[in-house]
Structure 1
Amino acid sequence: MYLFLVLSLHTLWVAVSIAMQHGHYDMCKTQTKSDEGIVWEYMACQPESRDMTPYLKVKLEPPNSTCGDPPEPFCAMGNPYMCNNECDASTKELAHPPELMFDSEGRNPSTFWQSVTWKNYPAPLQINVTLSWGKTIELTQNIAITFESGRPEKMILEKSLDYGLTWQPYQFYAADCLDAFRMEPKSVKDLTSSTVLDIICTEEYSTGYATHTKTISFEIKDRFAIFAGPRLHNMASLYSQLDTTKNLRDFFTVTDLRIRLLKPATGATFVDERNLERYFYAISDIKIHGRCKCNLHANSCTFTNNRLACDCEHNTTGQDCERCKKNYQGQAWSPGSYLTIPKGTANICVSSMPSIFPKVAHSTVPPARVSSHKRDCYCYGHSNRCTYIEVVNTAVCVGCRHNTHGQQCEKCKKGFHRNGSAKLDDVNVCIANICDNELLRCQNGGVCHNNMRCLCPSGYTGILCEKQKCEDTGSCSSKSGQESISHNLYLITMIIVTRLCTF
């Protein structure tokens, strides 16, 4: 009968868990068509893809890279030998500041950012354009950079995942990859599932000074298509790969992008030193679509106080929903799964408060999974190892030190009490009880107060009221002195017993 009750409770717990997880996916469900008609499809929580350029900040290196200060002439785009145009930062109609890379196009003439000319040739004309979000984002469509000038003969697109502290190449662009970067030219269409993360150099977008083709792309969708098919019709396959292929999620994730312009278009094998005003960079438009990275724990992302942040669900918190909320650290934080239940899981942060469910007999608990990662434990520094009990979906600290115990080593062992002046992660958080109604009893009518001290009657003093005040004046009888010695021996004995009981 007891075993039946335990199994019933276990079945109920599993059902409740599945229902709760469906409930958390419920906020991200959508209606789709199937053979059975319109049905609800539960999907991982993630914000919608959108234009991410309104939320970025742009920085140029060197900072005086924009033309117009002082004013300078440059050659017409269509005719490099008509050099009667002028860039003047002090005149709105003649200025070409960086923000014109992101304004709405469609006007005639088009607006664009423009660099200084190559007037310092043969010194290289090299400029970095850094785009920063102050937030982790995931790219969802091709990056498109439209040049008003000829497309650069040499350029690198770089990415950062740590807010610009370190950089790594995303793709190389050159008119001659072997000459520019010592790399064989490739196309994204040459990549396979085993080489999808390769960094390539392409010659497709570096065609000199021609003006009929102005755009340089970084092909996100072509890499998606390796798993999802040419028309991205099999997104389930892509999601499965994003869940299981190491580093694939990170490949499409950035905090910053950097466009390294290394050599302007020359349209020839040599540079015309008599007309250096014809060589410069000009960008009229940059398109970057993506979504806030919320680790599949949020369905929306808001922009407030010039800052993007996920609206976190699943008891998570942080700008990227990258950690569990306080009191919801019952198991290690983990990103959600792209796959829907039952193949995937929302990986909801569970409560770290004591469970309301009854303890289950050991004979019915599946083998415990012991974590080998220190980060999987939330034990306030009193243990670095946890046992994960799958039945109740909870991690329990193992081998709590510093006289602590409990699911997170957050309680004090018997015979010890919480040190009010110490934090939970302090090694001295639990200090020995001075008195206990079970072990160390106050003597001579003393009363134990909060397991911390004895309130002694008049005429007695000491830790356990074991000492007569007359001892301080030497007026006690010999019998009283012997009784005091006896009390002291009792105190020492009981302290030793208490220490032994805690091991």
Structure 2
Amino acid sequence: MNSRGSNGLILFLSVVMLVIRGEAASDSFAKMFSSQQNPADPCYDEDRPRRCIPDFVNAAFGTAIEASSTCGTGGPTRYCDVSDLPGGGIGQCHVCDDSTPRRRFPPSYLTDLNNPNNVTCWRSEPLVSSQSFSAPPDNVTLTLSLGKKYELTYVSLQFCPKAAKPDSIAIYKSMDYGKTWQPFQFYSSQCRRVYGRPNRATITKANEQEARCTDSHRYTGGDGLGPVGRIAFSTLEGRPSAPDFDNSPVLQDWVTATDIKVVFNRLYMPQQSQDGVQEENMGLEESTKREREREERLKSQKINLIGEHLTGAATALPSVHQVIAPQEMQSNDALDIQEMSFVTTTTSTTLAHHYAVSDFAVGGRCKCNGHAARCLPGKDGEVICECRHNTAGRDCERCRPFHFDRPWARATARDANECKVCNCNLHARRCRFNMELYKLSGRVSGGVCLQCRHFTAGRHCHYCREGYYRDPARPITHRKACKPCDCHPIGASGKTCNQSTGQCPCKDGVTGTTCNRCARGYQQSRSHIAPCIKIPKVVQTQGTAGEDSGEHDEEDEERYDGRADQCGKCRASTRRLNLNKYCKRDYAILVRVAERHKKTEGGAQPGSNVPGTTWIRFSLYVESVYKRSQDSRLRRGPMTLYVHSADLACRCPKIKPNKSYLILGQESDGGGQSGITVTQRSIVIEWREEWHRRMRRFHRRARSCH
């Protein structure tokens, strides 16, 4: 098929196949572009996470493009088509004017709906393309900002019908919203001369992230009479790692872009010497060389035809890039008449044309790293991914807070790489990731909890911190799972207990979880350094329960009660005495203990008939009676005192021979028989001489007792 329409159809189909080949180069990448059945949640298969990706779109559609040159923005300007004649040349000329709607060619036409039946074009200002390599390039730039990171599959440019096709084009990409630019692709008939790169170089794994240069845009593949009407750059074509795209960070970075810039460097390429042709085509196939030579001959014929035509038309028409004066703009009909075939007034070494593009397309997907199925507009109009799999960020490029138990990773077809929540047992709100711990765990867990609360500590807040111990009655997730150590200030050698059992470190001779009592074979001492000392052997063989061989101070006993956990609080040994306590007792007497007798079993005490009850009997002498009832049997002189052995063992009361005591109690505790009985309700205090005055004062005030 030699017709231009047939060639255009073939070229369009070739572009489509080129894009498909680029996608098929990577099996995993091709899966990303396969049709989906729109499940209820594309990011999860029931409860199992899976890779999800946004729809494939033309990211440039409807997006504003910035052009460095637009025809008619400076006033009415003439531009010309390329002739349909076999030799090419200049065809019909027209006028562009930004102030007239039907003569406007703004950059917005590049990204509007591409309708083949109603082609809209952006056109640059007409320019003069010099046939000298020393002349400045014909630079015109198109800049497209995508507004977010995209993973691109192709970049496509569709040139306008009857417009000159550029010879040298550079495509750049930016990954940081236009701050820096990286070459993406080059097109030129003389790659080495213009861009310093070989033509159609082979890409290896060592240079997969480098831009190539090619002259493929200059040939139709048919009769070779002109360049193709579209160029389509496939980002993955010819890249060796494309079949394993999921595991190639280099290519994942290569296809990522936030902005695309297209620079038209040369509209026409000056005819090069035969040596230059041989140098440029070095290493190409022989058929390609012949095709190049044919193009050079066609170019020469085109220039000769233009030179012959110049003699009759050059003096009659204005130059292509000349701005038309306002008085010449009489009516649209007049302009239509002026739109005729003409050539420039310049020499035969220049060609006056312009750049014209009808469609600028960028195919790809919103970059969400496999953790989102769609992108949504965010704050300030920016586009962000609707992140899933516990990820966060504009591109789902990190794990959301408190989900750092495994490292962030891009989702693949095999593993969604979902971010996992840190295990802090409900005691922390922040955590961090530690790679060394992750490796040591067999790549299972790498989260480290920060600022553990509720007195917990550890990587997972899983044990109690120093000074606290685990409460076995509560789960570790309970906010009161850790209890403070209750170590006795005298019996314990420190304030830190075992974090599992709560056992405090006890001093020698001290025992108990909190170190609050003397161990078997030890007795309490006055020393805070050694509160429990060994009982002498003679005392162990001759002494009785509740009897100590050493002297004790009541103040020391109040601070350290060695049997407190068994005996409870002893009211009989209190040192505090007031009128209220005096009034509530039947009697108050001063006695001196003479002798302690051996244990007697139940029933030995008068009035006692409880079998198995053990009593201790003391002989004493009543020295003074401060209070008694009218029918009381209490008199000065010798009497017998009975104390329960269990109470005496707990030092409640604490009675020792040859000591004087003030005793206050109830006469009914004695059962109505001879002698008195001391119980835990009684008050037994070692006598002090200064208490005579207090007891007389209580006696005088006793009539106020109720």
Alignment TM class, shorter chain as reference: 0.5 to 0.7
1:184 is paired with a residue whose SS is coil
Contact 1:386/1:397 (8 A) holds in 2: no
* Residue aligning to 1:139: 152
**Structure 2: gaps of 5 or more residues:** 1-38, 271-298, 307-343, 469-483, 490-706
**1:179 aligned counterpart, secondary structure:** helix
SS of residue matched to 2:386: strand
Equivalent position of 2:361 in the other structure: 287
Larger Rg: 2
Please give the residue correspondences for 1:408-419 in structure 2 after superposition, counting only pairs within 5 Å.
Answer: 414=466
Q: One-letter code of the match for 1:313?
A: R
Q: Deviations along 1:262-299, whole A, 9 cap, x unmatched?
A: 11136857897728783221111122211111111112
Query: CA separation in 1, counterparts of 2:211 and 2:436?
Result: 40
Could you tell me which residue of structure 2 aligns to residue 168 of structure 1? 182
- Partner residue, 2:122: 113
Q: Deviations over 1:141-175 (max 9, x none)?
A: x3221122322111111111111111111111111
**TM-score computed with the length of structure 2 as normaliser:** 0.42
| Residue type of the alignment partner of 1:407 | R
- Are 1:312 and 2:387 counterparts? yes
Q: 1:392 to 1:123 in 2, by over 3 A?
A: closer
Please name the residue that 2:235 is paired with: 220
**Structure 1 residues 438 and 385: alpha-carbon distance in aligned structure 2, compared to 1, 3 A threshold:** farther
Q: Deviations over 1:435-458 (max 9, x none)?
A: x875898xxxxxxxxxxxxxxxxx
Question: Is structure 2 residue 94 aligned with structure 1 residue 72?
Answer: no
**Counterpart code for 1:101:** L
Q: Note closer, same or farther for the CA distance 1:129–1:414 as it changes in structure 2 (3 Å cut).
A: farther
Match 2:166 to one of 138, 145, 152: 152
- Map 1:70-109 to 2 at 5 A: 70-78=75-83, 80-82=89-91, 84-108=93-117
Quick one: distance in 2 between partners of 1:392 and 1:120? 62
Deviation at 1:203, TM superposition (A): 0.8
Which residue of structure 1 lines up, in the alignment, with residue 65 of structure 2? 58
Assess if the C-alpha contact under 8 Å between 1:26 and 1:42 holds in 2: no
Letter in 2 for 1:247: V
2:371–2:388 Cα contact (<8 Å) kept: yes
Q: How does 1:72-471 map to 2 (within 5 A)?
A: 72-78=77-83, 80-82=89-91, 84-108=93-117, 110-118=119-127, 123-140=136-153, 142-148=154-160, 149-186=163-200, 190-191=202-203, 196-206=208-218, 213-220=228-235, 222-223=237-238, 238=243, 241-265=244-268, 268=299, 274=346, 278-303=352-377, 306-337=381-412, 339-340=413-414, 345-355=415-425, 386-388=436-438, 390=441, 393-397=444-448, 406-407=458-459, 414=466
2-side partners of 1:288 and 1:277: how far apart?
A: 31
What is the alpha-carbon distance in structure 1 between the residues aligned to residue 75 and residue 458 of structure 2? 70
Contact 1:25 1:42 in 2 (8 A): no
Contact map agreement 2:371 2:389 (CA 8 A) in 1: yes
Aligned to 1:464: none
Q: In 2 relative to 1, CA 133–404 (structure 1 residues): closer, same or farther, beyond 3 Å?
A: farther
What amino acid sits opposite 1:100 in the alignment?
Y
Give SS of 1:137's match: strand
Amino acid across the alignment from 1:91 = T
Distance 1:313 1:398 in 2: 23
Runs of 5+ unmatched residues, structure 1 = 1-23, 31-40, 229-237, 357-377, 417-435, 442-503
Q: Hey, what's the Cα distance between the residues in 1 that align with 2:259 and 2:387?
A: 22
Report the Cα distance in structure 1 between the residues aligned to 2:99 and 2:463, rounded to whole angstroms: 68
Distance 1:111 1:177 in 2: 31
Q: Given the superposition, is the C-alpha separation of residues 246 and 437 from structure 1 closer, same or farther in structure 2, using an over 3 Å criterion?
A: closer
- The higher-RCO structure (CA 8 Å, 6+ apart) is 1
User: Corresponding residue for 1:421?
Assistant: none
CA contact (8 A) 1:385 1:399 kept: no
Distance 1:159 1:76, change over 3 A: same
Contact 1:74 1:86 in 2 (8 A): yes
Residue correspondences, number: 343
Shift of 1:201: 1.0
Moved more, 118-127 or 80-89: 118-127
Distance verdict in 2 for CA 1:91–1:308, change over 3 Å: same
CA contact (8 A) 1:114 1:281 kept: yes
| Distance of aligned partners of 1:126 and 1:385 in 2 relative to their CA distance in 1, 3 Å threshold | same
**In structure 2, the residue corresponding to 1:99 is in which secondary structure?**
helix
Identity of aligned residues (%): 26
Q: TM-score, normalised by structure 1?
A: 0.58
Per-residue CA deviations over 1:123-151 (Å, capped at 9, x if unaligned) read 432122111112111123x3221122322
Cα RMSD (Å) of the superposition?
A: 4.3
Contact kept in structure 1, 2:56 and 2:363, CA below 8 Å: yes
Q: 1:211 and 1:260 mapped to 2: Cα distance?
A: 21
SS at match of 1:135: strand
Going from structure 1 to structure 2, the CA distance change for 1:220 and 1:392 (only over 3 Å counts) comes to closer
1:288 is paired with a residue of what secondary structure?
strand
> Alpha carbons of 1:392 and 1:262: their partners in 2 closer, same or farther (altered >3 Å)?
closer
- In 2, Cα distance between equivalents of 1:90 and 1:410: 74
CA shift in 2, pair 1:183/1:123, >3 Å: closer
Report if aligned partners of 2:98, 2:105 keep a CA contact under 8 Å in 1.
Answer: yes
SS in structure 1 at match of 2:417: coil
CA contact (8 A) 2:67 2:142 kept: yes
Q: Distance in 2 between matches of 1:72 and 1:115?
A: 11
| 1:307/1:250 CA distance change after superposition, 3 Å | same
Q: Which amino acid aligns with 2:235?
A: I
